[in-house]
Amino acid sequence: MKSAPGRIRIIGGQLRNSRLDVPELPGLRPTAERVRETLFNWLTPVISGARCLDLCAGTGALGVEALSRGAAAVHFVERDARAAQALRDNLARLKASGGEVTAADAQAFLQGAAQSFGLVFLDPPFAQNLWTPLAEGLEQGGWLAPSAWIYVESPKGLPPVLPVAWSLHREGAAGEVRYALYRRTAAVS
C-alpha cells in the first residue's frame, strides 16, 4: 500500500503532480496516494489557512500535501537527519513556503515550548508503538488548538489508545493500515 522509496507524487493543490525525492531508509512508509486523497477530501473544509504539525514526518508527504492545498504553515519533525535533510531539499526545490523542518525525536520535541496547531499528522514508525505517548504529549503539552483535528495512521486491527478528548470523526483502511481523523473536543474533567 505504500509507495516505493525513490519518488512520491503530490496529488492535489498548487504542487499537484510534483514529486518528492525519498531517501532509502529502513522503516520509512510514505502514506499511500489513495489514503492521502481520502484524508484531504475529509480535510477540504479546514485545510485553508491551517497551522499544521507533521510529527514523525518521514518523507513529509502529508505536510507537503497540506501546504499544496492551502495550509498556512507546516512544522515537520523528523528524527532521522537524512530524512529531515531530504525534506528540506524537497521544500526548497518545490519553492514551498510555510514549511519548517526540525530534526529531532518527536517525544523530545514535545517536551519543548508548545505552539498551538489546528491540524496534526501523527504517523510514527509502526515498530516503535509511539501513538499513546505522542498523543499524550500533544494533549498535555499544549500543542493542540481547542478544536484541533488529528490524523492518526496505525496498523489495521490495532487501534491505538488515544486521549478521551479525541473524538473519532472518520476512519478507513487500506491494506494493513488503519487511518483515522479525530477531532479534539472540550477537555474532560
| 83-111 pLDDT tens trace | 999 999 999 999 999 999 999 999 999 99
CATH number at residue 154: 3.40.50.150
> Is 64 in contact with 94 (CB distance < 8 Å)?
yes
Give the residue-averaged pLDDT of 130-152: 95
How far apart are the C-alpha atoms of 144 and 8, rounded to whole Å? Answer: 29
2 assigned to some structural domain: no
Q: What is the extent of the structural domain holding 154?
A: 7-184
DSSP 188: P
Per-residue pLDDT tens over the stretch 56-79: 999 999 999 999 999 999 999 999
130 assigned to some structural domain: yes
DSSP string, 122-156: E---GGG--HHHHHHHHHHTT-EEEEEEEEEEEET
- The number of angstroms, rounded, from the C-alpha of 150 to the middle of its chain's C-alpha atoms is 9
Residue 130 clears pLDDT 90, i.e. is over it: yes
